[in-house]
Amino acid sequence: MIEIVICLLVGYCFGCISSGYFVGKFYHKDIRTLGSGNAGTTNVLRNFGIIPAIITFLGDVLKAIVPLMLIRFCFDTQTDWYLLCLYCGLGVVLGHNYPFYLGFKGGKGIAVTAAIVMACANPIMIPIGLAIFVAAVALTRYVSVGSLFVA
């Protein structure tokens, strides 16, 4: 039980690192007051361009993968790593979507969820999911539609 709480807390703490918010602050703006109002990669792309969006995306991916690696490293082989990683991933998504220091207003959790799924999934599923996402976004021009298709 204590392992689950630790995983959720570690995940939440990493998830609270809001890449989009910090990229916006680099441009002296609060990304949450622009566009769709969330601190995610898509809103950064629409308001600041491709390079800041890539930085935001990579920050979101790293903040999801690093705590998962920590959990795998810190708990012994007797523990169910997969389940603990999913709890940690839940914490990351909650921290990303509801960071306490930003008034519980963050991103939508698409990039961090994708990173968690990629880190936990069977490797054969990663290119399949990526192909579905890219095709859906290319056809509809909506990231949210691509995310729904992959889910």
4-52 pLDDT per residue, tens: 999 999 999 999 999 999 999 999 999 989 988 888 888 999 999 999 9
pTM, full prediction: 0.82
59-95 pLDDT per residue, tens: 999 999 999 989 888 887 666 888 888 899 999 999 9
Smallest CA-to-CA distance from 109 within 47, 49, 70, 64 is with 64
Distance CA 88, CA 139 (A): 33
Q: What is each CA distance from 88 to 64, 85, 110, in whole angstroms?
A: 9, 5, 16
